[in-house]
Amino acid sequence: MSGELGAVLFDMDGTLVDTEGMWWQACVAVAAELGLELTEADAGHVLGRLVEDAAGYLVRHLPPGAPGVAEVGARLTESFAGWVSGGVTPLPGAIRLLDDLKAEGVPTALVSASPRLIVDMVLRGVGAERFALVLAAEDTARGKPLPDPYLRAAAGLGLDPADCVAVEDSPTGLAAARAAGCRVVSVSGDPVAEDVLTVDSLEKVDVPLLRLLASGKRSLG
């Protein structure tokens, strides 16, 4: 742990681009096809999760003989891809922050729980060149909320996770980043924990703030 800002690791859906609502709609639609109705109580089981995890959650509520995880996962991916293909909108402050970090020589990585198909579609709009490393769901055996994706990202950049700041929005992603040992920024707007800096928009995040957070000098209370 150097106290320097080694890299910034970004979640994708709901953090950099406004796609989390699309994923939720895909889950709701597929669930309805299967005779299930999703409510807000189900959100934590599908948002920020791997497709396989969300599919598994739906399958557990289906009767014997219903489609399995592989088929439901394929339906979820197809439905989500349909939404994303219509175009995605970067969230306020996202592109500015990415470009500022690149201008100051701070590497960035994209650490997404979405399949590579979806990540590549989003990057066509956001710009793959803005990232030194891109990880999709297929790139680790275990996904968020386990720390594996963030550990893999830090290792891929040759850094200690403690020298990386992770930017997330969902409880699942925040749990993964914290478990990996990263400094963490939550853009959910809702206080998470004393060791997490919470903001309600990337417009309130800049490179000096991230450097302070990496140094441990930023008060998170």
Q: What is the pLDDT of residues 19-55, one digit of tens each?
A: 989 999 999 999 999 999 999 999 989 998 889 999 9
Give the side-chain half-sphere CA count within 13 A for 143.
22
Cα torsion 131, 136, 139, 141 to 10°: value is: 140
Cα torsion 106, 112, 117, 123 to 10°: value is: -30
**pLDDT tens digit string along 109-165?**
999 999 999 999 999 989 999 999 999 999 999 999 999 999 999 999 999 999 999
Both tokens of 220, joined, read: 């998170």
Confidence of residue 1 (pLDDT cuts 50, 70, 90): low
Confidence of residue 221 (pLDDT cuts 50, 70, 90): very low
pTM (predicted TM-score): 0.88
Confidence of residue 207 (pLDDT cuts 50, 70, 90): very high
Phi-psi region of 159 (alpha: psi -120 to 50; beta: other; left: phi over 0): beta
The CATH fold of domain 7-18+88-215? Rossmann fold (3.40.50)
DSSP letters of 102-132?
A: HHTT--EEEE-SS-HHHHHHHHHHHTGGG-S
Both tokens of 10, joined, read: 């970004």
Task: Specify whether the CB–CB gap between 4 and 215 falls below 8 A.
Answer: yes
> CA–CA separation, 154 vs 160, rounded Å?
6
Instruction: Tell me the CA distances in angstroms from 200 to 21, 120, 121, one per residue in order.
Output: 17, 26, 26
Alpha helices in 61-206 (DSSP H): 69-84, 94-103, 116-126, 148-156, 171-180
Q: Look up residue 63 and give its DSSP letter.
A: P
> CA–CA separation, 58 vs 37, rounded Å?
10
Both tokens of 188, joined, read: 């959910």
